[in-house]
Structures are given as structure tokens and as C-alpha cells.
Amino acid sequence: MNNSDRELCFLSIQDQSRLIHSKEISPVALTEAYLRRIEAVDDKLGSYLTLLADEALEESRLAEQAIANGNSRGPLHGIPMGHKDLYDTKGVLTTGSSLLFRDRVPDQDATVIAKLRDAGSVLLGKHQMSEFAMGFPASLGPIPRNPWNTEHSPGGSSSGTGAAVAAGLCAGGLGSDTGGSIRGPASLNGIVGMIPTYGRARRAGVLPLSWSLVHAGPLTRTVEDAALMLQAISGHDPRDPTSSSLEVPDFSSGLHEGIKGIKIGVPRHYIAAANSEISSETVKSVDKAIKELEGLGAHVEEVEIPGLEHLRTIGSIIFMSEAFTYYQHFLRTRKEEFGRYFRNYVYAGALFSAADYVQAQRARADLKRKVARIFQHVDVLALPTHNGPAPKLNLEAPLDPLRFIRGAWLTMIFNMTSCPAISLPCGYSEGGLPIGLQIAAKPFDEITAIRVAYNYQEHAGLKDNHPPI
């Protein structure tokens, strides 16, 4: 690997695409640069579970030939990506980073993988993750590390994808988010992570955890790149019964409109409710970002979201009950193949009754109505993504069944209310670790969330900051 590889691998998807389509670089050369960087760096990070070097080079050759013949498929054509090992990939191991599925090779792509292939992207490989996206260490493969400081966590459950995108080991990738598993790693690794509205992105072929909460979405280095990836994976999917049939807009259409007159709601009481858990550095960085958004012409006002005192309880009941429903057969027949964290957490889901689950879903519906009323008066909500910078890795931590829910305090509300939300860097801790700002909008208004996030990212000037690794 050389300095030119590093520079090339840290370019945005948009910039890489311009170079490819202007013939200044070939998809093959770009893929080779990523493979050299993976070889040089990933033994320190453990972000890849399966690397597809030969296959990626062949896909890049096909992309190069097609583009040369005038058959470009758009801005993602020839762009090397890696995806969380939760997404089915035809003929390639898809394990959920669990010993349970260590030999599982799907015979069909997940719909979002197929759509990214249709867009011409190159698959570098599959990323390590928390076992079955639960937020706890995997029972298969390495423990991913944060590229800003390898003694620290990259977050979960899209841990490998977050670390790989941040470290320039792929141009972008798919994560999944049930309570914050895209936005959390985005915040901790200093990149962009977005969940669209529930039902917007196709979820067929995604290993299940919580059917009613999980969102598929992109992890990228820029907001503009997230919009490009989201464009490719959105739309109705007959294989997914929860898929929306609404027309997909152009998510990049509002990027350059500015945010003058945009109304931003700040739920300070929500932040204060978790104040004992949120670092002062995080509060300071997010407050500064909100003031900068105000300086760009947005109107900022405080808002209150009633009923948040029950959020963690509601989320725990829904999340754990749905996880147990899917994995109960394996728990009865192959329990020793699960990691201890995942096994014990899912077992806890068996303790909830049908009445508990129904009441939790009723409370969730009430929360949706309350948040919808807030969005009648503001365009977006702005708040921290995570309670602090990346914590140190502690692989000997005692089992805490509620740890995942506790860490998702600031993000799960948007899974619960089906809202789109995006995280992007807004500062750094004294130790040089990234801090994330979260922007959320009403359901099916991804354009506004992207617009606000893009304008902040362009103003803040942080998108060219990369980890030292």
C-alpha cells in the first residue's frame, strides 16, 4: 500500500464515480487499491469476516468494460463496497457472525444486495458484526476495533462495516439498525449512517432479529454518498410484506437548497433525562452543531416528547420477544452454538407474555402519534446519536441483558416511530474520538433529513477527517 492508495480509498463515492466515468481511474485500479489497503490494515481492525478478492477483481473488470462500452449503470457502477454479514449473498457465506450458521451459503441475494449489484457496485466482502445484530460480541470471527483508537469499540451491531468505511477499507456498505446499529457505529467511527423510513428499503433476505423494528440502510463517509446508496436500495419489494409501495423520490434533490427557514426541534428534556449517561463532551459538541445550523438560517425551538419514561421498557419487550420468536427452535436444539451473550439475552425474551407484547405495541402506537404531532410544527429533530465517544473494549464485561437497550436510548425512538434518521460527525472528544449528531424527520421525509445533514456537513468541514490508521 502507498499514499496514493490511501488518498484514493478515502475519496467519496461521488468523487470516485467522477474519476471512473471520466476515465481518470478504472474500477479495477480502484478495487486493487482497496484490496491492498485491506491487506495492510485489517489485521489491526478485524472488520472483514469474508474477503472476496478474486470475485471483486472480476466484477471490477466487467464494470470497466461496460463503462468503456457506454453502458454505465449510474454513480455506483464500479464502486467497491462491503456489507454486514446479515445480508444474504448468493454463493457466499452469510453467517450473522454466529457459529450456528458458520456453513450457511444462500442461493439467492438479499433484495438490497441484488439492487446494489444491478447498480454495478463491486462486492469486496462481508463484514464482521455482533452476533445476529444483537449488539454483543460475535461467536464467529474476530472482534472488530475502532480505527481512531484500536483499544476502543467501533460500536454494534454493524461494527465491521462502521470500522471498514471509516478506515477506507470500502467506499460504503450496508448495515442494519434495530435500535441504533447503523447510527451508533456511524457516531463512534466518525462517518455517516442512515436509516430510512420503516418499509422504504427492501428487507427480504436479511437474517431476522426484530421484524417490526429493523431498518436496512447505508454507512458512508458523506451524506451525499448515503443518499446515493439509499436511492439504490429503496422501493417496493414483493418479497417483503412490510415494504412500502410509495414512489421513491430523488433523495439528492434537496442537497443544494440550503436550510433557511427549516424548523429544527431540540428535545432538550430527552437529552436531560439521560444526562447522567451522556458525556459533557457530547452535549457540548451537539449544542455547538445546533447553533451552527441556526447560523445557516434554520429556526431552532425546544420540543417535548411525552411518554419517554417507558421507552426502554417498551423497546425491550418488543425487541426481545421478536428475537426469541425466531430463534427459539435453535435455542432448543443447538443452544451451545450461540455465544453466551446472545443466548442469554434471547432467552430473556421468553419471559414476556403475549399480553406484555400487545401492550408494548399499543404503547408504541401511542408514541408514534405523539411524535407525529411534533412533526406538525417542526421539520426535523436534532439530538446526540450516542451517549459518548467510543468506549474502551471490555471483552470480560459481565452479562447485562439490558445493556443493548440502555445504549440505544437516543436512537431507538426512531425505530419505534418508523422515522428516518441520519447520524454524522459533529466533533471530537479530548482523546480524539468522534462524536455524532443525529437528525430525524417524519416518516417518508428522508429528503429533509438528508438536506439538513448535508448542509451541516458542508459547513462543519469534518468530512475530510480520517482516522490515523
Domain ranges of the chain: 3-43+51-460
Here the cell at position 357 is 407484547
Query: In 284-350, at which residue ranges do the beta strands (DSSP E only) sit?
Result: 299-302
Here the cell at position 442 is 417524519
pLDDT attached to residue 272: 77
Low-confidence ranges of the chain (pLDDT < 70): 1-3, 273-276, 396-407
Reported as a single tens digit per residue, the pLDDT across 400-425 is 555 555 557 799 999 999 999 999 99
pLDDT attached to residue 309: 80
CA distance 325 to 187: 31
User: Strand, helix or coil at 133?
Assistant: helix
Out of 181, 187, 252, 316, the active site residue is 181
pLDDT attached to residue 341: 85
By residue count, the chain amounts to 469
How does DSSP classify residue 437? E
Fold type of domain 3-43+51-460: Amidase signature (AS) enzymes (3.90.1300)
pLDDT attached to residue 404: 53
Out of 47, 60, 84, 234, the active site residue is 84
How many CB atoms sit inside 10 A of residue 417's CB?
24
Active site (annotated) includes residue 181: yes
Place of cell 441504533: 180
What's the Cα-to-Cα distance from 402 to each of 3, 312, 315, 409, rounded to whole Å?
44, 9, 10, 11
Out of 12, 139, 157, 244, the active site residue is 157
Active site (annotated) includes residue 291: no
Active site (annotated) includes residue 84: yes
